[in-house]
Structure 1
Amino acid sequence: MTKRRLIVSTGNIHKVEEIKEILKDLPIDVLSKKELGLEKINIEENGKTLEENAILKATALARKVEGMVIADDTGLFVEYLNGEPGIHSARYSGVDTTDEKNNIKLLNRLKGVSLENRKAFFKTVIALVDEKGNIVTVAGECRGYIGFESRGEEGFGYDPLFVAEGYDKTFAELGEGVKNKISHRAKALEKLKEEIIKILEDD
């Protein structure tokens, strides 16, 4: 019996590795766009919510490949900044930005803001499109706060600034092993795992 394919609509190699690790015990082949030679497919994320963007990305790729497709959209929402950077997290400081520039902008926006007012949460929404075109979305959240400086070498994005509830280290200091158990994406992927198991059982 050939394994079902799950194609991940992202160019972010860190995300692909994280997803492969969390779904490794399912009887599916997890493939990235790059592995299929489709990395040049870029979808304009013009949705107004994480859900809309995830569905846009997943359905656009699903039209071009055979197999199940997933796409995620993730945002960091800082309460003091009325939810900034939110759905604009990846491009917070401009179109051709870097993680470092985004982090610097966020720290500048929170200059002089006390710890109790630095509450934030990460939210990931994953859209799954199966071979029949059915769409399912799942979400995961991780609450915490934004630190006063960049700390740690691991992870990506806002990981050097974000400290999860119950921890005193940033995601970038905790390392992938711990982060992959408690993160917003990990929680969404656990729910996704259940949805994929349902699809496999139904067939």
Structure 2
Amino acid sequence: MKKLVVASNNEHKLVEIREILNDADVQVLSLKDMNIDIDVVEDGNTFMENAYKKAKEIYQYIMEKHMGEYMVLADDSGLCVDILKGEPGVFSARYAGEHGNSQKNNEKLLKNLKDVKIEDRKARFVCAMVLLAPDSREIKVQGEVEGYIVDKPSGTGGFGYDPIFYLPEFKKTFSEMDSKDKNAISHRGKALEKLRDKLASF
């Protein structure tokens, strides 16, 4: 079985990745599982640049420490709102200033969209993924899902901007969907499906 290190300790993200890759011939490990304590600075201009930088730094660390033969997967994802010219974009996790404070990020976004009609609140989640493997092999994929930003949070599932990201075809926010339905159509789910297909030929 191939060993895949995910360049993250985000438990929500790891659960989604493990669920979607559960039928692939890979063992999914976190940075914590590998005793790797590296905080990669995400200073790229695009999601793909950030994902590649994270994957490369973690992969190089594993190689330099002779930890064994592993593949490394990194992703960068975020929310892009059309009327805000793509904000929060690559700054999604730290939109309100404090990294990972979902409540404050959501509050800031809703404040910036105050008085904007729902039909003008079109947004999309984007997930860029980079997998680096021995022999200089690499995979780059990207998944997107479109929806709208509602004016107040709804639902208890998911994380990040999920409570305010609404999908008209399901009449639910991401937070109101069960994980199976969400993974089938989410930006991360779409990216992972592409990744899984490409992994089959590795």
Asked if TM exceeds 0.5, the reply is yes
How far residue 28 of structure 1 moved from its aligned partner, in angstroms, is: 1.4
Deviation at 1:95, TM superposition (A): 3.3
**What is the Cα deviation at residue 63 of structure 1?**
1.1
Shift of 1:27: 1.5
Contact kept, 8 Å, 2:93 with 2:99, in 1: the verdict is: no
Corresponding residue for 2:138? Answer: 135
* Secondary structure of residue in 2 paired with 1:116: helix
Output the CA distance in 2 between the equivalents of 1:133 and 1:70: 14
Q: Letter of the aligned partner of 1:138 in structure 2? A: V
Alpha-carbon distance in 1 for matches of 2:178, 2:151? 19
Q: Tell me which residue corresponds to 2:92.
A: 89
Partner in structure 2 of residue 31 of structure 1: 29
* 1:95 counterpart SS class: coil
- Extract unaligned runs of 5+ from structure 1: none
Residue in structure 1 matched with residue 66 of structure 2 by the alignment: none
Partner of 1:10: 8
Structure 2 distance, partners of 1:164, 1:71, is 26
Query: What is the letter of the counterpart of residue 144 of structure 1?
Result: G
Q: Is the 8 A contact 1:143 1:165 kept in 2?
A: no
The answer as to whether partners of 1:124 and 1:139 remain within 8 angstroms in 2 is yes
Per-residue CA deviation, residues 119-155 of structure 1 (Å, 9 max, x unaligned), is 0000100001011232221000000100110111110
Mapped contact 1:78–1:121 kept (Cα < 8 A): yes
Q: What residue in structure 2 maps to residue 46 of structure 1?
A: 43
User: One-letter code of the match for 2:142?
Assistant: A
Equivalent of 1:150 in 147, 150, 153: 153
The count of residues paired between Structure 1 and Structure 2 equals 196
1:1-203 mapped onto 2 (5 Å cutoff): 3-38=1-36, 40-65=37-62, 66-199=69-202
SS at match of 2:162: coil
Question: Structure 1: which 4+ aligned runs deviate by more than 6 Å?
Answer: none
Unaligned runs of 5+ in 2: 63-68
Distance of 1:95 and 1:160 partners within structure 2 = 19
After TM superposition, the structure 1 stretch with the greater mean CA deviation from structure 2, 118-127 or 173-182, is 173-182
Q: What is the alpha-carbon distance in structure 2 between the residues aligned to residue 73 and residue 120 of structure 1? A: 17
**How many Å apart are 1:97 and its aligned residue?**
4.9
Aligned to 2:65: none
Distance 1:9 1:73 in 2: 10
CA distance in structure 2 between the aligned counterparts of 1:96 and 1:64, rounded to whole angstroms: 24
After superposition, what is the alpha-carbon deviation per residue over 1:36-78, rounded to whole angstroms, capped at 9, x for unaligned? Answer: 111x211001111101000000011111223111000001000
Q: Residue 111 of structure 1 aligns to which amino acid in structure 2?
A: K
Letter in 2 for 1:14: H
TM-score, normalised on structure 1? Answer: 0.94
SS at match of 1:177: helix
**RMSD of the TM alignment (CA)?**
1.0
